[in-house]
Chain A
């Protein structure tokens, strides 16, 4: 009886890992979409309202839920880091904030996503309005591309992860029986 229970548990774990991977892929796409929304909000606040960066970042934590809230809270945290260490740049503060939340909802973002955004994030908060427009447009375009790629790969990858997880679970049960 115990053997059957242990085997079932092992199978369920393998299947769960597969399903978890599939969910992480969905979350990554949602986070990239949320990042685009936040960047667009930043562009409006910077260029239309000339809002200073710390106040702007504080405001990004309001509203939203799920991925949008997670990205907003990372921005709020980046603002806090910038205010305590003004000699840091926005990019460093944002990466530190994301790093702190990697154990949380932002863990679905890949290191490659942040690397691709890096050149544009480095320009945020530095220079005049034209530079900010270019930086935010550049970052938005990269986020959009990553999100499109993620969405395009999503169905196949989700299917693969789910199938592999379930197959691994079943195989484990059969092998250990």
Chain B
């Protein structure tokens, strides 16, 4: 049985569990998402742009019980994540949520009557960062801070996760600011993903604060973080680099032009903060590489 079924099946309603158990190994490996919507058929989405559906339609209580089980009956401890519309569960799988938001003074303070779950199956792909690794060191073997760019769904997180593992295996001390628990999926202090034995994870903490804490406390060779986007993130990256620590990060953008159009991140480019940029296309493949000035180095 594949890993996701080991992690997830016991939390899912009996009908979904039964159908998942009936899947062949190949079918199970192709499942990338399980979608549950109140009143609609449960859908298994596969990586071959297809989907198969169950006859069973869960009601809202079943969707909510599934969420409660996925959260280990500890929604109170996951409230910040839930307010952001997701929870990361055992095995590193990410569950996206839709429901009715409670807003106070413009801030989401709760998500109630959850009616849709999108369980995204996390699969570490060993070797996903093989193409990236040479770009992370210069000719003399010194680390080069690098920003990975791609539109959503192209495998940034997978590549970043494998890069963490490979850096760690090369003897580098890697500290991860894992705000959404996506990179390392820490549960009870233990990363659920293969991220190497020299990796320390600051989990669930806002990136900018996490990077400052890691810088002060953990003496890292590398700080790795996912999805830079806020001005505070950019400032924390600059602080780390001024301290001589290499940063490996990712951001949503389909190219350097799109990156420059984001004022929070343009400052990083102008300051020459990163020694290189890597643009990914589908399935984590490298489409282009750029130097610190944004000049193309290599076209795939």
Complex CA distance for A52 and B72, rounded to whole angstroms = 7
Rounded to whole angstroms, the CA-CA distance of A53 and B71 in the bound complex is 9
Q: Which residues of A contact B110 (CB under 8 A)?
A: 128
| Contact assessment for B73 and A90 in the assembled complex, using a CB-CB cutoff below 8 Å | yes
The residues of B that contact A47 with a CB separation of less than 8 Å are 76
CB <8 Å contact, A53 and B69: no
Q: Which residues of A contact B73 (CB under 8 A)?
A: 53-54, 82, 86, 89-90, 125-126
B75 in contact with A87 (CB, 8 Å): no
Q: Is the CB of B188 within 8 A of A128?
A: no
Query: A131 within 8 Å of B by Cβ?
Result: yes
* A87 and B76 form a contact (CB under 8 A): no
* Interface residues as binary, A125-137 with B (CB distance below 8 Å gives 1, 0 otherwise): 1111101100000
Closest to B111 in A: A128
- Give chain B interface residues in 163-188, CB to chain A under 8 Å: 188
Interface residues on A, range: 20 to 34
0/1 interface trace, chain A 114-130, chain B, CB 8 Å (1 if under): 00000000000111110
Interface status of A50 (Cβ within 8 A of chain B) = yes
Q: Is the CB of B68 within 8 A of A54?
A: no
- Nearest-neighbour CB distance to chain A for B253, whole angstroms, equals 34
A126 touches B77 (CB 8 A): no
Give the distance in Å from the alpha carbon of A82 to the alpha carbon of B11 in the complex. Answer: 11
Interface of chain B residues 82 through 129 with chain A (CB within 8 A): 82, 110
Contact A55 B76 (CB under 8 A): no
- Does B69 lie within 8 Å of A87, measured CB to CB? yes
Would A87 and B13 be within 8 Å (CB), given that A55-B188, A125-B68, A126-B68 are in contact? Answer: yes
Map CB proximity to B onto A34-71 as digits: 1 under 8 Å, 0 otherwise: 00000000000011001111110000000000000000
Q: What separation, in Å, do the CA atoms of A90 and B69 have in the docked complex?
A: 10
Contact check: which of A46, A85, A89 meets B77 at CB < 8 Å? A46
Q: Which residue of the partner chain B has the closest CB to A82?
A: B73
Does A132 contact B76, Cβ atoms closer than 8 Å? yes
Inter-subunit contact B69/A126 (CB<8 Å)? no
CB of A170 to closest CB in B, whole Å: 54
Q: A51-B77, A86-B11, A125-B73 are in contact. List 14 more A-B contacts (CB 8 A).
A: A47-B76, A51-B74, A52-B77, A53-B73, A53-B77, A82-B73, A85-B10, A86-B72, A87-B65, A89-B65, A127-B75, A128-B75, A128-B110, A131-B76
Interface CB pairs A-B, < 8 A, 28: A46-B77, A50-B77, A51-B77, A52-B77, A53-B72, A53-B74, A53-B77, A54-B72, A54-B73, A54-B74, A55-B188, A85-B10, A86-B10, A86-B73, A87-B11, A87-B13, A89-B65, A90-B73, A125-B75, A126-B68, A127-B76, A128-B75, A128-B76, A128-B79, A128-B82, A128-B110, A129-B76, A129-B79
Task: Report which A residues bind B (CB closer than 8 A).
Answer: 46-47, 50-55, 82, 85-87, 89-90, 125-129, 131-132
